[in-house]
Structure 1
Amino acid sequence: MTIWVPALPASGTRYRLLADAVADAIARGELNAGARLPPQRRLADALGVTVGTVTRAYAEVERRGLVEARVGSGTYVRGAESPALAFHQIAAGGDTDIVDLSLSLAPPHPDRPLALGEVLNAIGRDPAALTQAVNYQPEQGMPRHREALARWMTRLGMPVDAEELVVTQGGQHGIYLALQTLTQPGERIAAGALTYPGLINAAQQLHLKALRVPLDDHSMDVEALARLCAQQPPRLVYVTPDQNNPTGACLPEARRERLVELARAYDFWIVEDGVQYLPAEERGTPLYRLAPERTIYLFSTSKVIAGGLRIGTLRAPPALRERLAIPQRAQSWMVPPLMVEAACRWIESGAAAKLLAWQLEELAARQRMACERLAAFAPRGRPHGFHLWLELPAGWRAAALLEQLERQRVRVTSAEPFCVGSEPAPQAIRLCTGAARDRAALSHALETIATALEGAPSTPWRTL
């Protein structure tokens, strides 16, 4: 079978020449959207280079957003609608026959659409609210909205002042605003070796160099970060201290204090992501309370009320607020006030508190179910968390397990989308207990996963 083989110049860095050749072929239409790039070993043999050179070239083209690597399948040219990362997408009207545990979602509840309908009906009967909804508002958000959100966060154990808040279009938008405000293209940022794919994606879009900080059982290894800072101090450090995504690990108090000490010593910013909500008893001291002058804190309604609202908050020190307004204004001028009004009314009605109380009970029950059925495989997670992290038994490959589970109509996520840098992904999976439509579906999925892991792994050897 003939494969695409470019003609490379005689001189120059081989992986960069190959990456440029792929980019040129895509631009000319020689490699069309959806086309699979040649297998790395075959292309390496054809070009007379090492497999590592091709691997590095493909990674560079992926960093430019032109291709995407698919686990167990290969590397494909992106279409205009393709994501820059292997970020799982939520399909409208998805296949209800699949139990999809790949998405970090709040458990479904009929009160979510009902409560939204009630607040929208109330807004429709309020001429003043409708007038505000069709007019431009301040980039930071309306004072009344920020006050309502600040009171809510304070009740949830995250004390903030309204003047500290910028209203965002969800947590992902908050990450992008923070990076765009604090960094310039080419600068270094640091994050745990396994971290939220949205951070990796945003860093790629902004042409930032993401440095990996090793993890251990207690989340980020802060002493490894200290060694990194001595050699390549980052502009900022992104951290999810209460519930690492995907491992679920919590950063101990001593490490939080050490992280703040390093931030002051090496003059870097801290971006603290608190979007994956946990009750106060499962959280540590917020980093923004330890270092308010250099910490941006991100929160969102997505995991507590409804993801579709796309309403979040960004807590920032006074010196940053005007700077944050610039990218906010450039991107969308403001967050749509209608959606902020809906979120605030939902909170003020008491419906959000009722929903959250139910959700915490439901998540705790689901986490117990999963930990009991998968106990033989030592799953890790938080009692009220959204997901569990499962390191696979010896002999198992995550790609093979994902393929097997997909055939059995169960979907989970491998470690690959969470990897920072070029280190090999661990053989592990993340499964989100909140995503199942109900406990019966979750029980079926857990049984399927456990049964698969209790059997012998399929051999990776196809030929001798």
Structure 2
Amino acid sequence: MDDFRRIADAIAADIARGRLRPGERLPPQRAFARRHRIANSTAARVYGELARRGLVTGEVGRGTFVRARAAEPALVDPGGAPVDLQLNFPVLPEQSALLSASLSTVLRPDVLADALQPSGVTGTPAARAAAAELLARNEWRPSPDQILFTGNGKQSLAASIAALVPVGGRLGVEALTYPVVRTIAGRLGITLVPLEMDDHGVVPDALRAATVRAVYLQPALHNPLGITMPAERRAEVVAVLEELDLPLIEDCVYTFLCDEPPLAALAPDRTVVVDSLSKRIAPGLTLGFVVPPAALGDRIAAAARGGGWTAPRFALDVAAHHIADGTAVTIQRAKRADASARQRLVAAKLDVRADPRAYHCWWELPPPWRADTFVAAAAREGIAVTPASAFAVGKAPNAVRLALASPPLERLGAALDVLAGIARSAPDLDA
């Protein structure tokens, strides 16, 4: 056996026995060579062999460190896919049986014949009544006559933005915002204006300082930060919107997990509520809702029709049935409990910012980690997370978002343990 491999074996044994601890710095290669009475080139080969085995990591300008753990097989789901902490697809094991039983009536030939007819953006009376029931929170209850339907929540956002902001116009958004809004704005030729945030959400004075045609906000369970605006901040934001006579697009997609009333309850004449079914029920059952004030309803309906964003009748009838027979509420209640359980798991393992009701959390990374190197390190372990840059309109903070809904709970816990271990280790800048 070559001398360098024999020496590398000895160092590996010291690491395995705990004589060299994770994060401990090895001597510079010249000092290592003198200590072992070997050539500098042999010392370099020893360090290279340890790195190849995944036992150490070298950082330019800092030295060589024992890794937090030896390299292990990537943490992947049984089907071979990475553990997905990028996208939130909350689907509970028991919900397929609930949905199947609920669908039996819709699939009767006479009912199905109606469900296969065309539909417009205003849907059907039954769908509007069901949607009004589903979307109601606390004392806020939309009128069924207000409600418009699109194919999904993204289309509801696109129709609302297209109706309120002209090509070349400016839309105010939180400095960290839902990434799809960036894509929609780019395709519509609209400039996004980042609005400063603090621990309570958007800063009212930031609204005053911006020159925009409309504002898009997520007041409850903000994605990605998990912030929920307190009552005082809500009142301040509404007061500024009234002062500036600005319309608001309020994203309520995650509010099925909480009982916070929408800003529409305070400013019904200028707030467009956007919501959808894919998170509430299942990603394969998509239906978007728009609840505009009367003065804006025709403009948004025209934008939805013009964009080809109207909902299919079958989705309307299926959704109406799931709502009317209580299936939607049963699933929603179960998902609230599921989200809370996942947040408790995260809280026990990581120091993150999160609303305990949300399906996501925000992790400000410990130094010396940067978001890009952390995402890469997580990917090498078979875990997909989202860097802050995906949400930033402007400069991105050093953080990642973890979407908690997709993996089974046990698998999520294992992935969080791996991420915690990565955060405790030193970044491998050569990887």
- Normalising by structure 2, we get a TM-score of 0.78
Paired position in structure 1 for 2:96:
113
Q: How far does residue 435 in structure 1 lie from its aligned partner after superposition?
A: 1.8
Which of 146, 158, 163 in structure 1 is aligned with 2:128? 146
Flag the 1:445–1:280 CA change in 2: closer, same or farther, 3 A.
closer
One-letter code aligned to 2:83: V
Flag the 1:158–1:406 CA change in 2: closer, same or farther, 3 A.
farther
| Cα contact 2:126–2:320 (8 A) shared by 1 | no
Secondary structure of the residue aligned to 1:147 is helix
Which has the higher relative contact order, 1 or 2, with Cα contacts under 8 A spaced 6 or more apart?
2
Which of 140, 158, 162 in structure 2 is aligned with 1:176? 158
Paired position in structure 2 for 1:29:
none
What is the correspondence of 1:303-452 to structure 2 with a 5 Å cutoff?
303-332=279-308, 334-374=310-350, 378-420=351-393, 423-436=394-407, 438-452=408-422
CA deviations 1:327-371 (Å, max 9, x no partner) are 222233731010111111112222222222221111111101101
Gaps of 5+ in 2: 1-76
Flag the 1:344–1:94 CA change in 2: closer, same or farther, 3 A.
farther
Flag the 1:265–1:133 CA change in 2: closer, same or farther, 3 A.
same
Between 131-140 and 238-247, report the one with greater CA deviation. Answer: 131-140
Query: Partners of 1:430 and 1:313 in 2: how far apart?
Result: 26
Query: Partners of 2:276 and 2:398 in 1: how far apart?
Result: 31
Secondary structure of the residue aligned to 1:309 is coil
What is the correspondence of 1:205-216 to structure 2 with a 5 Å cutoff?
205-216=187-198
What is the correspondence of 1:245-284 to structure 2 with a 5 Å cutoff?
245-281=223-259, 283=260
One-letter code aligned to 1:341: D
Between 446-455 and 334-343, report the one with greater CA deviation. Answer: 334-343
| Cα contact 2:99–2:327 (8 A) shared by 1 | no
How many residues of Structure 1 are paired with residues of Structure 2 in the alignment?
A: 355
Query: Partners of 2:230 and 2:220 in 1: how far apart?
Result: 9
Which of 172, 177, 195 in structure 2 is aligned with 1:190? 172
| Cα contact 2:84–2:406 (8 A) shared by 1 | yes
Paired position in structure 2 for 1:99:
83
| Cα contact 2:274–2:291 (8 A) shared by 1 | yes
One-letter code aligned to 2:240: L
CA deviations 1:204-225 (Å, max 9, x no partner) are 1101010001122122122222
Gaps of 5+ in 1: 1-92
| Cα contact 2:140–2:265 (8 A) shared by 1 | no
Percent identical pairs in the alignment equals 30
CA deviations 1:217-258 (Å, max 9, x no partner) are 122122222222xxxx21111100011111111222222222
Are 2:200 and 1:218 aligned? yes
One-letter code aligned to 2:174: G
Flag the 1:273–1:267 CA change in 2: closer, same or farther, 3 A.
same
Secondary structure of the residue aligned to 1:434 is coil
Query: Partners of 1:167 and 1:184 in 2: how far apart?
Result: 22
Q: How far does residue 404 in structure 1 lie from its aligned partner after superposition?
A: 1.0
One-letter code aligned to 1:449: L
| Cα contact 1:186–1:209 (8 A) shared by 2 | yes
| Cα contact 2:121–2:150 (8 A) shared by 1 | no
One-letter code aligned to 1:248: G
| Cα contact 2:159–2:304 (8 A) shared by 1 | yes
| Cα contact 1:156–1:280 (8 A) shared by 2 | no
Secondary structure of the residue aligned to 1:293 is coil
Between 173-182 and 349-358, report the one with greater CA deviation. Answer: 349-358
CA RMSD of aligned residues (A): 2.1
Are 2:265 and 1:289 aligned? yes
Flag the 1:155–1:417 CA change in 2: closer, same or farther, 3 A.
closer
| Cα contact 2:386–2:400 (8 A) shared by 1 | yes
What is the correspondence of 1:6-21 to structure 2 with a 5 Å cutoff?
none
Flag the 1:371–1:311 CA change in 2: closer, same or farther, 3 A.
same
Q: How far does residue 278 in structure 1 lie from its aligned partner after superposition?
A: 4.6
Between 203-212 and 299-308, report the one with greater CA deviation. Answer: 299-308
CA deviations 1:32-63 (Å, max 9, x no partner) are xxxxxxxxxxxxxxxxxxxxxxxxxxxxxxxx
- Rg: which structure is higher? 2
Q: How far does residue 279 in structure 1 lie from its aligned partner after superposition?
A: 4.2
Q: How far does residue 398 in structure 1 lie from its aligned partner after superposition?
A: 0.9
